[in-house]
Amino acid sequence: MSRTTSLLLIAPILLTACVTPRPAADFPLVDYHVHLKGGLTLDEALEISKKNGVKFGIAQNCGLGFPVTDDAGAMQFIEKLQGRDVYIGMQAEGREWLSLFSMDLIGRFDYVFTDALTFTDDKGRRTRLWMKDEVFVEDKQAFMDMYIDKIVSIISNEPIDIFVNPTFLPECIRDEYDSLWTKERMAKVIDAAVKSGVAIEINATYKIPSKTFIIQAKKAGVKFACGTNNGGKELGNLEYCRRMIKECSLTKKDFFDHRKDRKKRTQRQNQIR
Ligand SMILES: [Zn+2]
């Protein structure tokens, strides 16, 4: 074959390689953090899931002051979703949830997650980080240290599969995300997640955690889970998660799969207790 002929044969291949954008994820994605809120019905959610080619995990908020506060309510939610093409999730709320639900009931969900947005601070004040008047930041550094202690305690002690809304900061200090989330603070959270086998959410709505956090966590062996945490019908299509998958070179094995990871997490947490 002459040099010209081979070049002619190779040229279209090279051209295709250059102009075809690299797919953001060449594996199926799951959105583990979808709520039937703001009028979104199960049928509508299923339609969006099908259209986007993303499997949904639909979660109920369970805890003090939330729609579901006991085993009976949680069971009703599970029965409503059973047999439909979704995973069934429990979003555990506040820190009292463990006293409200039996372990047997918790085990009936496909997976359980929580965040660290609600806690009682070191001065005994009930804090909800998304509510302006329920956030107390007198000293930013002291607040961060206290907040990281809360996160580590939740990840280490609560029987959860995914830690969601990770690294969320209240509005009053959100602009300082990069300086407040130091490498050391990130390491504490990442360490706890690795030890307990808890996955960390990449949240499409809040666009957290940062790329720096994700790269550091990936290196340590953390598993990730995509999640939207929608408040209504505007679900999007995991745009931030897809961008992070591409920019941090995440692959299928970096992602949580409740069908195998849940069992591993339970074993690991039983071992360290
Ligand atoms: Zn949620």
- What's the gap in Å between 234 CA and the centre of ligand 1? 14
pLDDT band, very low/low/confident/very high, at 261 (cuts 50, 70, 90)? confident
- What's the gap in Å between 169 CA and the centre of ligand 1? 16
- What's the gap in Å between 230 CA and the centre of ligand 1? 7
Kindly report the average pLDDT of the chain as a whole number.
91
- What's the gap in Å between 15 CA and the centre of ligand 1? 44
- What's the gap in Å between 195 CA and the centre of ligand 1? 24
pTM of the entire structure? 0.89
- What's the gap in Å between 65 CA and the centre of ligand 1? 14
- What's the gap in Å between 183 CA and the centre of ligand 1? 27
Q: DSSP string covering 109-128, please?
A: SSEEEE-SSEEE-TTS-EEE
Stated as kind and residue range, the H or E segment containing 34 is: strand 30-34
Find tokens 């790329």 and name the residue: 211
- What's the gap in Å between 212 CA and the centre of ligand 1? 24
Classify domain 29-272 at the CATH topology level.
Answer: TIM Barrel (3.20.20)
- Give the pLDDT of residue 270: 73
Pairing of strands 118-120, 126-128: antiparallel
Contact predicate 151/160, CB 8 Å: no
Look at 15 and 183; give whichever has higher pLDDT.
183
- What's the gap in Å between 90 CA and the centre of ligand 1? 9
- Non-local (6+) Cβ contacts of 190 within 8 A are 200, 213, 216, 217, 220, 222
Q: What is the mean pLDDT of residues 208-221?
A: 98
- What's the gap in Å between 267 CA and the centre of ligand 1? 26
Token duo for residue 124: 């005994």
- What's the gap in Å between 60 CA and the centre of ligand 1? 8
- What's the gap in Å between 71 CA and the centre of ligand 1? 19
Q: How far apart are CA 84 and CA 261, in angstroms?
A: 22
Pairing of strands 30-34, 118-120: unpaired
Domain ranges of the chain: 29-272
- What's the gap in Å between 61 CA and the centre of ligand 1? 7
- Encode pLDDT of 8-64 as tens digits: 555 544 444 444 444 457 899 999 999 999 999 999 999 999 999 999 999 999 999
- What's the gap in Å between 114 CA and the centre of ligand 1? 8
- What's the gap in Å between 21 CA and the centre of ligand 1? 32
- Non-local (6+) Cβ contacts of 267 within 8 A are none
Q: What is the mean pLDDT of residues 179-185?
A: 98
